Structure formats: structure tokens, C-alpha cells
Structure 1
């Protein structure tokens, strides 16, 4: 019996070793990228802040021993033969469009000052699993002019000051809506002749931004002022130190089938407008009930349309949610219906409602809320 038990134990040990061997990862190997395609060596680009501004990088593929697609990173150097200062994940593709704003960060990592001319060098690293090939393709030179922005761009921005609706108490500062990398929008009523600033946080480590000679500055704490009291849409682009102020004359609620019932909405503060006790009456047409509506903001005398997704022809199935998000803004052409619109939920027909338009940074998406009040 003892001999049988010893044999069984030996068999189990051998089986365990065999299983362990089977589970061990065996790297398959990958060839390096040998040829870079785009951009050409010594290519020059003047970086732009637009979200659509990109530069295409491409290369010939590497080969993995296991037959699967390799993984690629575009790597950047401050000088030929130097250390890698930035890596950009390209996945399994052999080309990638890198945003100018990302290249601006790469240039910063390479030591190029804001607004200055300089050069970075790039190549591509291939890998498969834990196996990484060396940089073989000779790095190419990319000449560029950096954006005239800030080296450190915050993920959030607040508006505070005596001129604002919330006053100088920093704890009450209103948060901006982040609309892109380094881009923020505020809707706020400002009082002429009184000061306001933008801050990166409500803590002691905050950076303060103000307006000097029409551009943003982080070197002055002197509050900015505005010449005309009113409600404004304020757009900031910290990538280029840009700021614009658009006076919002009014916001009109537009019920397309009954434009005679259109009314201006009341501004209630913090980027919100409200229309109270509005009587909803769908118009009966030969094809059914017409229940289309949208919003008409007027910026400095020019009317625009705020509406849902283009081509949206469905009534919402819920009384709140994504069907109520403001997703488009276009110049008003005089067509009350237009391609961009919302549709009332069927529950609102024949009812009195309050409609609240919310454009502030306190909500994740610009939206509106409709409540039955009678």
C-alpha cells in the first residue's frame, strides 16, 4: 500500500510540473519597425488649437512571430539619440492622427517654450506581449511652432469676483463647462466696471487667470472688467490664451407649429433660463400631430438655434434624459422648423408646463427640463 501511495504522489508532482509548464507565457518575438512614412523628415507644422487640427503619423508594419498584430507606440525625443520624452499609444494600427494639442504637450516635454519654434524627433516602437523591439527606424525631425498657451492647463476652471452673480466668495465660484482640452465655457451675468477672475481651483494652490490686453494671463491678479452689464457666454481657450465674450440679448422658446405663441424665457441665474406656465397645444396636421420645438438664443443681435441631434424625428420615450440634451447650435435661417429640433413628449399635450433651459457647468450636458404645472 505504501508503495502505491508513493507512486501516486510522484504522478501528481509530475502532473503539476507539466501544468505549470503549459501555463508559462512564452513570448513570440516581434520585428522592429524599419521604415517611417509620414510625416516626412524636417516636416514643419504650425500648431493650431482647433480640436479638428491633427497630424498623421504612419509607418510600415512590423511582424510578430505568433502571427498576431503587433502593438505600436509613437515615441518622441528632444534630440537624436536621446532618451524618449513622450510616448503615444497607436494600438495595432500602422497610422495614427495625433491632435495638435497633443503635439503641443509633446513639445513641452521636449523643452520647447510656449509660442516658440523648435523641433522634436519621432520614431515607432513595436511590441508583442512582453517582447519589445528596439528603435530601429532612424528618428525623423518634426519642426513646429508651439501654441501660445500655458504649459500647465487645468482640468477645471471657475469664475469668481465682484462682477459675477456669486460675488467674491471663492467657495461660491461657478464652474465652467469643459468643452475640449483647455477649452471652457461660462454663461454668466456680469456687472460693468466690477472685477472678475478665473481660477483653476478653490484651494490655496490655485492658478489665477485674468485678461490683459485682450488675452488671458496667469502673471497678473488684477481682475478683468467689462464695459456693458448683461448676460454673457464666455469662451476660453487656454491653449492660445484666447477669450471671447458674447452678449446674450435674449433666449426665445420656439414652438414651430405655433410661432405666434413664441415667448422670451426669463434668465434665472447661473446659465439657466425659464419659461413658466406655457400652454402646450400640438397642431393637428393631415399626417399627425406636430409637436416640434427648439430654442433661439440671440448673441449680439444675431439669432441662433439650440436643438437636439440633427435629423431627430422621434418623440422622446421618457420625460428626461438624453433626448433633452442641447446638441446643436446653428445660425437661424428663418425656418421655424429647421432640421434641428426637439419634439414634445405626448404627455405634455394640452398641459401647462414650466420649461427650464440649463447651460451651466453644473450639469454634465447642456439640457432642458419640462415639468407639468397645470
Structure 2
């Protein structure tokens, strides 16, 4: 009896497998009628791109049809003005991983596509677009296409993730592996405190071979291998490069002053020593005697070619430094208020000499006071 049950079970399993195989061998229905019409945006619509915003453009179209309920995927193909979509600039899946009859695309991404299509920054150009519907290996473009007129802002479509400065005029010299890295302030914006001497330099997104190269011409950042020439004596600078607007700023930093609030004046000067560091080897410190006690508050003044800038604490009122985290010593731009956004010397600094370092480096803008 047991053998009969096993034999019957084996026959049943064979029938199920045979039936399953027959179903799998059924030919797929790839019949597809392409997208009939495009809805939005209108033909020749104008879009003024603002890639720094959260603005989007919505593309919509009528659904393609099929003889069964099979899955249809959609892509928008973008091409240059006059293109026939045989070699589109790019294709982008529709919303919902390709199943929805719409695509929401950001101004930032459209700016990249416009750049790839040869539309230069600070100019107006046109893109063609259509929708490709596909079912399996069967892909059919819509019979209709439309044109989108785009106005690109100044700036780069692709901002570098990192930025380095290199060349004979820089602190790292012409050795690319020793290129000096800039601080990334925000997406597309970089800053560095460094010195430049007679020679030349360029910018790059890698400190190895193969990186993109940039240079500055009349205050505008451009991509290319042209070097920037520097003349004159060595000087310390704050250099700022904004790739979102392709603009740059350069400010000479003459010195950094240690400002003591109670005296309302500077009690010492820090000079640039390299690698983004300003230092004073020895400054005499004496707290100011008030009726309620001795005052130990201080902050810093950057003396620039354009005037004075104050650097101090993120806190309007501070406690003593003992036991505080590293962020206590961080430097940010502050007002010239005598008492606000100051730090406090350690009590052991009173009537002593101190060594002061201001480190304006990519890792952090911070400072250190060492009692001698």
C-alpha cells in the first residue's frame, strides 16, 4: 500500500511539473501601441533654470496600450535640438521606477542634461523630448516630440565633490600629490586660507592624475588647463570658489589680532606660518580687574585688505573652557560687539604668557591657547 501511495505521489508531481513547463513555454505577448500624445509641458515652453532651488518640471503623457495586462515601462528621451533620438543625450525612467505616465525632474538635473546637450551656462538653448514605452524587449517611441527652451544660469552643471589647489605658486608646489585641499563650505562652494607666491596655479577635483582642471579668468571659474599666474611677494589669502555661480573671491589676510574685551583692544598679533595656521609664539595676558572679579574674555580680529573682520564663538555668552568639547574653540564670523561671542581664557593664563594658534583648515576653523 505504501508503494502505491509513493507511486501515485510521483505521478502527480510529474503531472504538475509537466503542466508548469507547458505554461512557461507559452509565448509572451509583446504587442504594444506607443504613447499617443504628450500632455505637459507645452511645446516650446520656457524654463528659467534655478538648480540651487527645489523647483521641478513635470512631464506627463497618455498611456501606451497593450493587448493584455502586461507591465509597460516608460522613459523620457532627451536630445539636442534637431536630433532624431537615434543617439539621445540621455534617457530617464518615469516616476514610480518607470511605471507612471509622468516624470518629475528637478531643475538641477535638467541643468545637467542641458549642459550635456551643449547648452552653455548663462545662455538659452533648446532640448527635444519624447517618451519611449517598452514591454519586454519591444520599445516604441511616441510619434510626437516636443521642444523645451531652457535658460541656464551661470555656474557648473556638475559641482566638484572636492577641490584642490596646486602649482608652483602654492604651498604644496607643483607636485600634484601634495595639492592643498580646500574646505567645502556647502555644495559647490569651497574656501581656503593659504599663501601664494610668484608662480602659477590651477584647481582640480583630484590630487591624482585624471581629475578635472579649472582656472580663473576675470573673476570667473572656467574648466580647462590654463594656469593662473601670480606675481610679487608671498602673501596670505582667503580664496573662495563658488561653482554654482562660477564666481571667485580673493582677500588678502594681513594678520590676526587677539582682542581682549575688557580692554577693548588687541593684546597681540598672530602671523601666518603656513597650512592655514596663524600663530603668536608668546603673548602676555593679564585679566582685567572689575569690582566683581577679573575678566578673561577674548575673540579674534582678521585684518584684511578690505578692513577688519571679527571671529568668535557661536555662543553669545560662554563658560570657562575646562571640560568643554572641541566645538567650544570653533571660529565663526561674529560682530564687533565688545562682549558678545567671546571665549574665556583658562584661569591659569592670568599674568602669564600664552602661545596662540588659529587654525583655518578644511577639518575645522578653530584655535588653541597654550599657557607657557
TM-score, L = length of structure 1:
0.63
Structure 2 distance, partners of 1:287, 1:106, is: 63
- Superposition deviation, residue 234 in structure 1: 0.6
Asked if 1:291 is matched to 2:287, the reply is no
- Superposition deviation, residue 329 in structure 1: 4.3
State the number of aligned residues: 278
Structure 2 distance, partners of 1:340, 1:308, is: 5
Matches within 5 A, 1:197-346: 197-219=202-224, 221-229=225-233, 230-259=235-264, 262-318=267-323, 321-330=326-335, 332=336, 335-337=337-339, 339-346=340-347
- Superposition deviation, residue 118 in structure 1: 6.4
Partner of 1:366: 365
Structure 1 distance, partners of 2:292, 2:310, is: 25
Partner of 1:107: 111
The 8 Å contact of residues 104 and 146 in structure 1, kept in 2 or not, is answered as no
TM-score, L = length of structure 2:
0.63
Partner of 1:93: none
The 8 Å contact of residues 265 and 274 in structure 1, kept in 2 or not, is answered as yes
- Superposition deviation, residue 156 in structure 1: 0.9
- Superposition deviation, residue 227 in structure 1: 4.7
Q: What are the Cα deviations for residues 140-165 of structure 1, in whole angstroms up to 9, with x where unaligned?
A: x9976333223332211111111112
The 8 Å contact of residues 276 and 359 in structure 2, kept in 1 or not, is answered as yes
Change (3 A) 1:87 1:308: farther
Change (3 A) 1:144 1:311: farther
Structure 2 distance, partners of 1:295, 1:87, is: 52
- Partner of 2:283, secondary structure, is strand
Partner of 2:19: none
- Cα RMSD over matched residues? 3.9
- Superposition deviation, residue 43 in structure 1: 8.5
Q: What are the Cα deviations for residues 299-328 of structure 1, in whole angstroms up to 9, with x where unaligned?
A: 214001011115233233436610000122
Partner of 1:125: none
Structure 1 gaps, min length 5: 1-41, 58-75, 89-97, 121-140
For 1:184, which of 183, 190, 194 is the aligned residue?
A: 190
- Superposition deviation, residue 199 in structure 1: 1.3
Structure 2 distance, partners of 1:275, 1:372, is: 12
Matches within 5 A, 1:97-136: 103-109=107-113, 113-115=119-121, 116-117=123-124
Structure 2 gaps, min length 5: 1-44, 57-74, 79-89, 97-104, 128-146
By percentage of residues, which structure has more strand?
2
Change (3 A) 1:203 1:289: same
